[in-house]
Amino acid sequence: MRVKIHHEGTHILIILLAILLIINIPLWLWVRPYAIAASVSVVSAVFYLLVVNFFRSPRRQFHGNPENVVVASADGTVVALEETFESEYLKCRCIQLSVFMSIFNVHANWFPVDGEVVFTKHHPGRFMAAYLPKSSTENERSTVVIRTPEGQLVLMRQIAGAMARRIVTYAQPGDEASIEDHMGFIKFGSRVDLYLPLGTEIYVKIGDKTTGGVTEVGRLHPEAQA
C-alpha cells in the first residue's frame, strides 16, 4: 500500500535522509569491519521509518450519522474526560475530552464538528509532558472555536508536548469546518482537548483509543448550548 506523507514532514524527511546518508556512506567506504557500518545503517533505517510513520497522512471518511456528531480530532488515547470551566473563550462550564498522541500516532488533526470557524488564537508557552493536566493552560497551544449549523460552540485546543516544538493550525475565522478535513498538525508528541457543551452525549471513556476523523466520541444535544 502506498504511504502518503503529510506535507508538514516533506522537508524534515529530506533533510533527515541527507544527514543519515552523510553518516552512513563514509562508514561503508572506510570503516572496517563492515559489521559496524551495517549496525549503524540498521539503526538509521529504523529511525527513519519511525519518522516516516509519524508523518503519514491517511485520507479518512466518516461513515456514520453526521447529524450533531462529534468525531475524534486526533489518533491517540483518551486521557481526560471531565466537567470543567473553559475560561479563554466560552466562559462557561463544559465537558473536556482530551486525547494524548504518542510519537507512534498520526499527528494530523481533524475538525471535530461541521460548522464555521469563529475564533483562532496561538499561545506561546512551556513544553511539559502533554498528558499532564497543566499542559492545557501552560504549554504552547492553539485554540480554535467552531460554531455548528445549530449554533452550538465547540472549542478545540492543540497542545504541544515535551517533544513537540511546532503547532500548525490551518483553520482561520470564516473557514468552513468539516469533520473530513485536517484542521492542523502537531509535530512530535502532543495532545488535543475538546470542550463540548454540557448535555453532550459522550461515547468514550478514559483509556479508549481514538482514530481522528473516524471515531465518534459524542453527539451534541440539539438544545445544548456552550
Q: How many CB atoms within 10 Å of residue 223? A: 9
Cell 533505517 sits at which residue? 45
What's the pLDDT at 190?
81
Per-residue pLDDT of the chain (226 residues; tens, 9 = 90+): 455 776 776 888 899 999 999 999 999 999 989 999 999 999 999 998 888 877 777 778 888 898 999 999 999 999 999 999 999 999 999 999 999 988 788 888 999 999 999 999 998 865 555 455 555 556 788 999 999 999 999 999 998 865 555 788 999 999 999 999 999 988 766 889 999 999 999 999 999 999 999 999 999 987 655 4
What's the pLDDT at 109?
92
Point out which residues pair with 192 in neighbouring strands.
99, 158
Exposure on the CB side of residue 72, measured as CA atoms within 13 A: 27
Kindly write down the DSSP assignment for every residue of 9-75, as one continuous string: GHHHHHHHHHHHHHHHHHHHHH-SSHHHHHHHHHHHHHHHHHHHHHTB-------S--TTEEE-SSS
Task: Describe the chain by its helix, strand, coil percentages, rounded to 5.
Answer: 20, 35, 40
Which of 196, 188, 84 lies closest to 140, judged by CA? 188
Point out which residues pair with 98 in neighbouring strands.
80, 193
What's the pLDDT at 226?
45
What's the pLDDT at 132?
56
Q: Is 190 a catalytic residue?
A: yes
Please provide residue 22's backbone torsions phi and psi, each rounded to the nearest 5 degrees: -60, -35
